[in-house]
Amino acid sequence: MSPDLLRRRIGYSFSRMELLDQALTHRSHGTPHNERLEFLGDSVLNCVVAGYLFERFADLPEGDLSRLRAHLVRQEALCQAAQALGLGEHLRLGEGEVKSGGFARPSILADALEAVIGAIFLDGGFPAARDAVLRLCRPALAALDHGTLGKDPKTLLQELLQARKIALPQYSVVATHGAAHSQNFEVECVIPELSVRTKGSGRSRRTAEQEAAARAFEQIR
């Protein structure tokens, strides 16, 4: 993918192209790298999302707004947005990171996306950054479900079962694959009373549990 295509996907034309270059430079590659821009972009992102949620959900109390925001700015969501942009191809990483597949690491992708947001804020001011954030997060914003309010699947499943007075699900790791630094967990979620048994997998036990819970939730609902 050409740098031009990336700029078009981001939807913002930089006056100072070096800011975008810096945003895409991981510290393993050398200085100037993107950590300071990430610090800035993180706060811009939080502010834009807060303003958006405040306006869109005029009746929601503060606690629900906080939860929705946490859902939108979590690493997984940012990583998805970064992948949709094809940001990974444009990252500048040190050799060690390249070899270990760092261009695809969720934390590196999410951080780089925040850094890009910080770069836009510096280059074009708050309105430009807000437009970019709302564009980058559009799929996640569109998928926001007022009812589930950004609750994670395990919480949703638990609430659903409690409402029906059914015993809580049991989670257990049924397999792990791969070496220590790139393990993959396979988890089973069992709800005996409903004869429900679903599986999930992920890079952490928690992620795998969430996936299994999401599947159980869909089956029951």
Q: What is the nearest approach in angstroms of a second copy to the Cβ of residue 65?
A: 5
> Which residue is associated with the tokens 């914003």?
141
| Residue among 38, 97, 114, 209 flagged as catalytic | 114
| Residue among 42, 123, 186, 211 flagged as catalytic | 42
Q: Would you say 28 or 66 has its CB closer to a second copy?
A: 66
Based on the residue annotation, tell me whether 76 is a catalytic residue of this protein. no
Q: What is the nearest approach in angstroms of a second copy to the Cβ of residue 192?
A: 41
Q: Would you say 125 or 178 has its CB closer to a second copy?
A: 125
Based on the residue annotation, tell me whether 114 is a catalytic residue of this protein. yes
Q: Would you say 117 or 212 has its CB closer to a second copy?
A: 117
Q: List residues binding a second copy (CB under 8 A).
A: 35-36, 38-40, 42-44, 46-47, 49-51, 54, 60-62, 65-66, 118, 121-122, 125-127
Q: Would you say 43 or 204 has its CB closer to a second copy?
A: 43
Q: What is the nearest approach in angstroms of a second copy to the Cβ of residue 39?
A: 4
Polymer length of the chain:
221
Q: What is the 3-state secondary structure (H, E, C) of the chain?
A: CCHHHHHHHHCCCCCCHHHHHHHCECHHHCCCCCHHHHHHHHHHHHHHHHHHHHHHCCCCCHHHHHHHHHHHHCHHHHHHHHHHHCHHHHCECCHHHHHCCHHHCHHHHHHHHHHHHHHHHHHHHHHHHHHHHHHHCHHHHHCCCCCCCCCCHHHHHHHHHHHCCCCCCEEEEEEEECCHHHCEEEEEEEEHHHCEEEEEEECCHHHHHHHHHHHHHHHHC
Q: What is the nearest approach in angstroms of a second copy to the Cβ of residue 127?
A: 8
Residues belonging to the active site: 42, 114
